[in-house]
Chain A
Amino acid sequence: MLATLFFLAIWLDADPPFERESDVALLLAGYVVFALALVAATWKNWWLDARLAGPAHAVDILVFTALIAFTAGYDSPYFTFFTFLLLAAAIRWGWRATILTAILLMALYLMAGMIVSATRPVPTLHDFVDRTGHLMILSFVLIWFGVNRWGAGTFAREAGSPAEPLLNESPVETGLRAAMHGLSASSGVLIWRERDENHADVFIARGGELVTSRMNGAALGPVSTPFLYDLQNDRALTRDELRNVRALSANDLIQPKVASELQLSEGLAIPIKAGSGEGELFLEDLPNLSTDHIEVGNSVALDIVGLIERHALIIAIEESAEARSRLTLARDLHDSVVQFLAGAAFRIEALKRDLSAGRDLEPDLNHLKQLMLQEQGELRSFIAALRSAPQIGLEALAEDLRTLASRLAQQWDVFCDFSAETSNMMVPTRLQLDTQHLVREAVANAVRHAGAKSVTIKLRAEADKLRLDFINDGSRYPNSPLTGEMPRSLSERVKLAGGVLELSRGMGVTRIAISLPISGRVN
């Protein structure tokens, strides 16, 4: 592009700023031909593109120097040429090559200037010195551009943000699809080996189909950075720590047997290492494959590692939630059913002894029957909540709590007043279980720890939370070193439900305000 523009500028300019114009035109024509030949040779060949980049840059510099040497006026277009050369270095190699190119160009510019000045009747060296100052300022700008360009991580992938893990799909499969989509690759292979496993899972995506298989051993040799490969011509390119392009043998990097089994030919190979395992990604049929893809490969590897780790984290969170649910269920069964049955067994033993002693069993039997019916009712509503649909009406939930409050009043010999501000709102079923546990716990705590004679329970729904207020007329709760005045069992239940508990005391009563999230967590 630079060669063509220059050639056109000189050709169209009525008074070109060069001496020996025919020589300049010839030089530029040759330069245009050279550039066109280069474009033709490297158009679809990343190998030649990388290998010829250095020589082409050297030719650009030589042409620049020659044009300066031929310059004849104050308006020679050196500035544009200089900018193009530094930009090329910054884009292709980064800030180190930009600095070297800038120093070399400025030195050549001054040398050419001295030669031109010496051959002119009027000395013009001061013009060249002034212009070198301009070039220096421009160099700083472009070096800064080179630094930031590499820091930002080369050209962007198509997808802006990394893919989110799907729980019903392997994160490796999601990673492969995301990488292919991000780089517009038509085919891809991802080999993944879990830590301490001998075999590897292989995901092959070709022609819109995904095939999975297993293999032993690794596909890549000892290589830790992404590289471009062309197995047919045994070519590979990677970048070293200083980002210099290094040519290698593709057959040394990729096991030929595995390459043949996986039908690999030409593309980008990316080694991946995560805490849970390691793998190798091969992306093929990429449009405009070039050495820039090597840098992108590092980002793709990080994206896949992030995806696998996020997936593992989500699974761990789900398992932890399941474990918590199991523990809560076990605790509820222990606190209600097991204790009740143990108590019932003791009562029956007592009745047996009373029978032997010839006592009247009826009052005790009636009491036991009453207790069993109450327990059965609680157990049924507990099971119903476990079985029911994911959502329950707020009115039904309030009705259950009202019945529970009246049972608790009998059980603990305390006055329990329940009131609710309901609507036709639906809430998750888990809230039915949570609120039942909390009401049981709060009433028991008020009686046991505060010696309350009356407990008022109020339920109301707000936009995104359910609010339960307990007001009791007991004494202060005893201080615990861990939770202060907060009743520990109640705090734990609220925490498990993702809610917030506030305790306040005044006018001889204790108020416990609990907010439970209808979805998510209360802030």
Chain B
Amino acid sequence: MRILLADDHPMISTAIEALLRDTQFEIVGMATTGEQAVEKVEKLQPDILLLDLQMPGGTGMDVLRRMRSSGSKIRVVLLTAAIDDASLMEAKALRAQGMVLKNSDPAYLLECLERVSRGGRWVDPELADRSKELEETLGDREGPSLSPRERQLINLVRKGLRNREIADQLGVTEGTIKVYLHAVFEKLGVNSRTELAIRADEFLAESFLRN
């Protein structure tokens, strides 16, 4: 099984390289940024992408979204130190085949890769419990559904970006962002940008659950 490892921390990369030595998994390439990961997936065509979430130049979630929107069939295993509720639910919605926490038993990574290589799915027990809990808590709610654009907007508000910066990122005018934001406020029943930023994780997790 050919693996592309995308992680910006050298200690993790060398450790995983050592861990996968003499196993059925071969590391065919390494990437230290999101952009590099996308490029190398296209170039090296690996079977599995072992992807860290926190990376410069495009996060692991950005890479996963791009993989799925481009129709790539590559199997993706997320390897992360921490993941918020919204990203957890989005990763599930985007059908990430595996999710492993860096602070869990290192043997889980091999277990996960083996399961994924056989075409299955494997989620870290801690994340599986959290996901189940979220489904139970948020599943009964009757909230509005959010479009991908609205989710993107909420994510950018959560990062603390101003309207001008959001407009630059989305390639629209500042006025358009104001209109979008007003519609999102109305839809979610929030009164301010601060409230939206604080509750973004909850809204996003809930919307991915509904998809």
A to B CB contacts below 8 Å, 11 in the list: A335-B9, A341-B103, A343-B12, A345-B106, A346-B18, A346-B19, A350-B19, A354-B21, A478-B57, A482-B165, A489-B56
Q: Quick one: given A339-B9, A482-B165, A482-B168, are A346 and B106 in contact (CB under 8 Å)? A: yes
B126 to chain A: which residues have CB within 8 Å?
none
Top 10 closest pairs, chain A to chain B, by CB: A343-B11, A349-B106, A346-B15, A342-B102, A350-B19, A350-B18, A343-B15, A347-B15, A339-B9, A343-B12
B87 lies within 8 A of chain A by Cβ? no
B35 to chain A: which residues have CB within 8 Å?
478
Write out, one digit per residue, whether chain A residues 325-348 have a CB within 8 A of any chain B CB (1) or not (0). 000000000110011111111111
Tell me the minimal C-beta distance from B32 to chain A in angstroms: 5
Separation of A351 and B10 alpha carbons in the complex (Å):
18
Question: Are A448 and B56 closer than 8 Å at their CB atoms?
Answer: yes
A214 lies within 8 A of chain B by Cβ? no
Tell me the minimal C-beta distance from A477 to chain B in angstroms: 10
B110 to chain A: which residues have CB within 8 Å?
349
A243 lies within 8 A of chain B by Cβ? no
**Number of residues on chain A facing chain B (CB within 8 A):** 33
Write out, one digit per residue, whether chain A residues 453-489 have a CB within 8 A of any chain B CB (1) or not (0). 0000000000000000000000000101110000011
Interface set of B (CB-CB < 8 Å, partner A):
8-12, 14-16, 18-19, 21-22, 32-33, 35, 56-57, 81-82, 102-103, 106-107, 109-110, 161, 165, 168-169
Interface set of A (CB-CB < 8 Å, partner B):
334-335, 338-351, 353-354, 357, 364, 371, 411-412, 444-445, 448-449, 478, 480-482, 488-489
Tell me the minimal C-beta distance from A248 to chain B in angstroms: 41
Look across to chain B and name the residue whose beta carbon is closest to the beta carbon of A334.
Answer: B81
Question: Are A412 and B10 closer than 8 Å at their CB atoms?
Answer: yes
Tell me the minimal C-beta distance from A275 to chain B in angstroms: 16
Separation of A35 and B196 alpha carbons in the complex (Å):
70
Separation of A353 and B25 alpha carbons in the complex (Å):
14
Separation of A341 and B9 alpha carbons in the complex (Å):
12
Q: Of the candidates B15, B22, B33, B56, which one forms a contact with A344 in the assembled complex, judged by CB atoms under 8 Å apart?
A: B15
Separation of A489 and B21 alpha carbons in the complex (Å):
33
Separation of A411 and B32 alpha carbons in the complex (Å):
14
Tell me the minimal C-beta distance from A364 to chain B in angstroms: 7
Question: Are A339 and B11 closer than 8 Å at their CB atoms?
Answer: yes
B169 to chain A: which residues have CB within 8 Å?
481-482
Separation of A340 and B106 alpha carbons in the complex (Å):
13
Question: Are A342 and B12 closer than 8 Å at their CB atoms?
Answer: yes
Separation of A449 and B58 alpha carbons in the complex (Å):
12
Instruction: Name which of B16, B109, B161 has the most chain A CB atoms within 10 A of its CB.
Output: B16
Q: Of the candidates B8, B14, B56, B103, which one forms a contact with A488 in the assembled complex, judged by CB atoms under 8 Å apart?
A: B56
Question: Are B8 and A448 closer than 8 Å at their CB atoms?
Answer: yes
B8 to chain A: which residues have CB within 8 Å?
444, 448
